[in-house]
Structure 1
Amino acid sequence: MAGADGIDHREHLIEVPLVWGAQDPRRITVFARELVRHGREDAPHLVWFQGGPGNRAQRPESVSGWLDAALDEHRVVLLDQRGTGRSTPADAQSLAGLDASEQAEYLRHFRADSIVADAEAVREVLGVKTWWALGQSFGGFILTRYLTTAPASLAGVMITAGLPPLVTEDGRTASADDVYAETYPLTARRNDEFFARYPGDREVCGLVARHLADVEERLPTGERLTPERFQKLGIGLGTASDFDALHYALEDPFTVAGGTRRLKAHSLAQWGVRLSMAQNPLYAVMHETIYGRPGLPPTAWAAHRVRNRFEVFATPPQELGDRFCFVGEHMFPWQFEQDPALVPLRGAADLLAHVEDWGELYDLEALAGNRVPVAAAMYTPDMFVPFASQQRTAALIDGLRPVVSAEHHHDGIRADGKALYARLKEALG
């Protein structure tokens, strides 16, 4: 489809095996949107891997930021990772005919190894021998897998805020527990920054949490809003783009109805949109599975367990008062009881949390012998993928060129994409 903005949109829907490398008849489709700027029809391809897991590729309503810069040099492929967007869906609706064990078995095939195999199928359909790749957050996890299994397909790799945790400071294989032991303190620090900027909000949040423990308030989707779910609004603190928006969502939330203090319908509506996983349930289901590796115990709701090591997170939010603290990119088992979009997947999510035989995603020997040009942007304040952990992984990938920034948060590619893209390309030489 030719666009008035000088960019052609080419859509590709490709059938792939559900289970790569096995005699399994099940098939799914993956969707990729190829964008080509007029006059650049012969440019090399670049494939984009979205953050997540479980998020579809971006839908650019206007071309700007990194995408605008990339289209000057590349034909860009925006891949809807399996289970997302226009690829075969993996959600409560599509999995409704399966029991929990069947759902869990199906979803075991939605990790980075399968996504890389899908990408290879897309590359072959496009007739491309090698392509460039850019991955944000979980997209960087995917590209680290790509480097270990199909490096010959990669002309160059750029990663933003997404080098996966491979080893701990003392050299052990990094587990989900290790990840959350690092992210909870970072989350507490980011809370302090937020409440220092908006000091009145901490009192407001403490009052709301106490109110939710005592008074039944319902979200527009019908379920009761609990103090612990209100605490999940903090996921936006990990980004620069949502930092101030959270403050505006907390403005003046109370009203008086019939002589009783209640939360405003407007506030509940805003919070409901922010808290619902209806648009990306796969994110909730698969989030901790990305840390599953051989030799490690099951993830077993690591974020839920590890929070008990930190007093401010172990304390029920309604008891925190003026010490109120939001949580961040942490998934909890009670979300599958409270969010209507997740309730039908609660059994599968729990089974996935107790898988003991995850396959290996990363070949450390292959990474040590890497010959693909790689540049990785790492942000020292990153609340989601800790800088120290990314540094350790960067040291394991031969030839990786780090691009370190103290200015950006996890969404640096969204906040300053054009400049960041230029820095990554410059680092690659």
Structure 2
Amino acid sequence: MTTASFASPTGVEPRAVRVFGEPEAGGHVVTGDHWVDVPLDHATADGPRIAVYAREVRRADKAAADLPYLLFLQGGPGGRSPLPGVDGPGWLSWALERYRVLLLDQRGTGRSTPQDRRTLARLTPREQADRLAHFRADAIVADAEVLRRRLLGDTPWTTLGQSYGGFCTWTYLSFAPEGLAGCYVTGGIPPVGVPAEDVYRATHRAVDRRVAALDAAHPRVRAVLADVAAHLVRHGEYLPTGERLTARRLQEVGSVLGAAGGIDLLAHLADDAWAMPGRLSDTFLAGVAGIVSYARNPLYALVHEAIYAETGDETRWAAQRVRDELGIGVEGVPGEDGVARLPLTGEMVYPHTVTRDPALAPLAEAAHLLAETTWDRPLYDPARLARSTVPVAACLYTQDMYVDPDLSRATAGATGGVRVVEDTVHHHDGLRRAGDDVLGLLDVALGAVRTTTAAAATAPPSAVAG
């Protein structure tokens, strides 16, 4: 495969063209690397600069086909794009039938210039916080526009935003809609204009619903976890990361309940709890670490609350304040059957999270400074969103534990050009588990929005008014 057939519309050829996957096993794709050099702060072009990476992917038997581009905006924040090949995400096969796919490692993640305890070690906590303030959706969109102009010039592209990638999509619609030909969004219509506290109140209600489902399916799981939490008060148990496990950190395993397999995962985790009386098993400790450690995605924890902060907002550890408001403790709570069960938390990051996790502890002071930051840059433009004509098809999971459906409906209703497809079957990971089905429905919806938008654009003013 030569790079000549891989050139973009502007003539840019990717570096390091490679083949991943096997024809017999699936996932047989050709990839190429794209890098762009961007300002750390897009408002200060002569300041520090960072590298942003995107992997172009084409189906091997369509590598030379003249297909449009689809930019994938990953969930998170702080998550790298998926890796192609035999074990690549199922949705990618659907997309590669129709598009050249660009898997963007959002700034600070994957092969883009990383931001973690090692790369930030030379900076003071104040400098770390100031730097991390430039890793929100507004900067991600500005990076994407640099990449688009390099590859496509003035031609817009289509985007697929999963979870936080949907939040980035709404930022894109707010500040650079000229770059968008259309958008797919899965589980990611953001709560525009909603304070972080209200977001966490809503997601706590969703956690309660999933915990009730866990108890109905496996009544002993939280009872086992309550016994483990009591044990941790008296005995030192350590995760493979070196962190001493506490009851508060144990409660964070509830974050997996937002995925379709989360209930079963916690059931299996509880089955493996004890190696012998009075001693937790290595299997259990490794399983907990796999859920609660942020070694692979430190930005997720560091900027998690900041993704909800609009101009003038201070998050001030909103999740912790809502937790205190709801009276969520660290001891088992007796149920109607008299059995004590451990309360679980969801997709929330707390002060103890960053001080306990070895991947975050060196940046804990910076995290506290971010929580005290008064944000001076908007993430959305509600007036422009209301006038938006970019076609958007968005899948709203009615069972979503991470992105509240009611808040999403409100945002969609206040944004022009949006058609919502409500999915009552899948959870937040529906794209990964049933990508063909989800994207097939969204593709039909996107076509309908385009037809409606085109008809409105060509209709006489009197017809539109009527």
**Is contact 2:253–2:345 with CA below 8 Å preserved after alignment?**
yes
2:170 matched to which residue of 1?
A: 144
Separation in structure 1 between the aligned mates of residue 127 and residue 312 of structure 2, nearest angstrom: 24
Larger Rg: 2
Which 10-residue stretch deviates more, 247-256 or 44-53? 247-256
Equivalence for 2:99: 74
The equivalent of 1:428 in structure 2 is: 446
Tell me the residue number matched to 2:62: 39
Structure 2 stretches lacking a partner, 5+ long: 1-16, 448-466
C-alpha distance after superposition, 1:365-404 (max 9, x if no partner) = 1111111110110011111100000000000111210000
Q: Deviations over 1:248-294 (max 9, x none)?
A: 122141233xxx61111221122122221111111000100001112
RMSD: 1.5
1:205 partner amino acid: L
Aligned with 1:307: secondary structure? helix
**CA-CA distance at 1:405 after TM superposition:** 1.1
Residue 72 of structure 1 and its aligned partner are, at CA, apart by 0.6
Q: Which residue of 1 aligns with 2:74?
A: 50
Could you tell which deviates more after superposition, 147-156 or 47-56? 147-156
**Residue in 1 that maps onto 2:249:** 229
Q: Does the CA contact (< 8 Å) of 2:156 and 2:180 recur in 1?
A: yes
1:11 aligned partner: 33
Q: Which of 362, 365, 373 is residue 344 of structure 1 equivalent to?
A: 362
Contact 2:126 2:369 survives alignment (8 Å): yes
Q: Is the 8 A contact 1:213 1:318 kept in 2?
A: no
Letter in 2 for 1:104: A
Per-residue CA deviations over 1:169-202 (Å, capped at 9, x if unaligned) read xxxx311001001111110110110121111212
User: Does the 8 A contact of 2:333 with 2:340 survive in 1?
Assistant: no
Count of aligned positions: 417
Q: Is the 8 A contact 2:58 2:100 kept in 1?
A: yes
Greater RCO, 1 or 2 (C-alpha within 8 Å, sep 6+): 1
Q: Give % identity.
A: 44
Aligned mates of 1:357, 1:276 — CA distance in 2: 27
Output the CA distance in 2 between the equivalents of 1:254 and 1:358.
49
Deviation at 1:352, TM superposition (A): 0.5
SS of the residue aligned with 1:35?
Answer: strand
TM-score by length of 1: 0.94
What is the one-letter code of the residue matched to 2:163? S
SS at match of 1:250: helix
Partner of 1:169: none
Is 2:265 the counterpart of 1:248?
no
Aligned to 2:306: 289
Pairwise CA distance, 1:208: 0.9
Task: Letter of the 2:425 partner, please give it.
Answer: E
Shift of 1:64: 5.2
Between stretches 359-368 and 36-45, larger displacement belongs to 36-45
- Return the match for 1:95 from 98, 112, 120: 120
Distance 1:281 1:289 in 2: 14
Instruction: Read off the aligned partner of 1:199 and give its amino acid letter.
Output: P
1:61 aligned residue: 85
Contact kept, 8 Å, 1:210 with 1:319, in 2: the verdict is: no
Tell me how far apart the structure 2 counterparts of residues 404 and 11 of structure 1 sit (CA, whole Å).
36
- How far did 1:324 drift? 2.0
Gaps of 5+ in 1: 167-172
Show the counterpart of 1:196: 216
Aligned partner of residue 407 in structure 2, secondary structure: helix
Equivalent position of 1:303 in the other structure: 319
| Counterpart-to-counterpart distance in 1, 2:89 and 2:341 | 40
Amino acid at match of 1:202: R
| Residue 127 (structure 2) pairs with residue 105 (structure 1) | no
SS at 1:334's partner residue?
A: helix
Question: Could you tell me the TM-score, scaled by structure 2's length?
Answer: 0.87
